[in-house]
Structure 1
């Protein structure tokens, strides 16, 4: 598993060239920001035109994303993987085991600049919710998580957590679009920040667990609703 901030590599371990890396980073960013729809097809020829590259480096970057679980290959292009209920349960089970202890381990290494960055991210999230800017709220929430993840001493642990968080982006907008959920997120972010400020590892660990549990509940509910709507559409 590649470390965070390391140059992306292909499944065989060789480094991607500059063109491959640009495509890889751009598409991964779009997936993380929820900009790729659940049924959207990513076609290598279109990306080759967008990046002014041949299809070979584009395809290598897309295959890397398949290898890491971010995309699934089809005969007509690449799509986000379809997560089953079992997939969702397994991902959140791993997150509940890893994230609380990882966040708690950060308390002893966070500096004043990190705390200020966390405060700024929380402030932006609050403003985004108040002004009904869903995309900006998602970005601020991600920034808050990334700040403390970047401080986790065990870099392999941080990379694993980041990977599993990324894998539940498929219906992410559906989970956070609810106003009630947004306010719960803000409340939990504020409690995490308080724990970091007080260097209270137990408080941070408990709040992080609550955060993941709530995310799981929202994700499962959104996924179930989506399946129900699809079933009704097919039977109509």
Structure 2
């Protein structure tokens, strides 16, 4: 009898390229509105165009890049787009924080504290890139700590949309300080398993961001908030 065929576990080239592209997007290697040309990317990463094409297709499905007749490009994130996502987070983040406060494991609480310490250290060194990376890891840990799969799916998609904008936002020391203030309150509340304070910290942070970038501070209640778009104000 012939010996059975064996499946060899290995990382597909497409998956490696996908991870590298995603990491470079998060780290600001590409700029908003930039076209992502397969031939140029293939030369940059030292691979053929096929894994590049497959990775770009996956990134487009996830909403990290846009697909048009002219090919793939980074979204030219507008001020309105940013505020629209903040409006969604204003609704979701309090629920996510409350779930994390009630359901986070001891290991996840430790991990949240470690990522927050990473944010503090990066801010002290003026390292915007390191700060952004630690903030992203804290956010991912928070999403997992909620142990609510439906909520996690939505929050992961939304987090992906912030990857590029976050790099720009955290170049400003004041924005990093604001994140530290409210993420500190959030982490403390989760450590204490206080869902009310965790939810308040998460929502108040979004209110402060809206106040800073939107110009119309929403009432700190559970009422939904809708930004007035720039085109509507003309």
2:102 is matched with which residue? 108
Matched, 1:162 2:156: yes
Deviation at 1:76, TM superposition (A): 5.7
Unaligned 5+ residue runs, structure 1?
A: 1-16, 222-226, 228-236
- Confirm or deny: 8 A CA contact 2:102 2:194 kept in the other structure: no
Matches of 1:206 and 1:42, distance apart in 2: 40
Deviation at 1:75, TM superposition (A): 5.8
Deviation at 1:111, TM superposition (A): 2.1
Matches of 1:60 and 1:178, distance apart in 2: 35
- Confirm or deny: 8 A CA contact 1:48 1:55 kept in the other structure: yes
Deviation at 1:118, TM superposition (A): 1.6
Structure number, greater radius of gyration: 2
C-alpha root-mean-square deviation of aligned residues, in Å?
2.5
SS in 2 for 1:73: strand
Deviation at 1:128, TM superposition (A): 1.2
- Confirm or deny: 8 A CA contact 2:26 2:164 kept in the other structure: no
Aligned residues: 206
**Of 80-89 and 139-148, the range deviating more from structure 2:** 80-89
| TM-score, normalised via structure 2 length | 0.77
| TM-score, normalised via structure 1 length | 0.76
Deviation at 1:188, TM superposition (A): 0.8
Matched, 1:87 2:92: no
Matches of 2:154 and 2:211, distance apart in 1: 21
Unaligned 5+ residue runs, structure 2?
A: 1-10, 216-229
- Confirm or deny: 8 A CA contact 1:122 1:190 kept in the other structure: yes
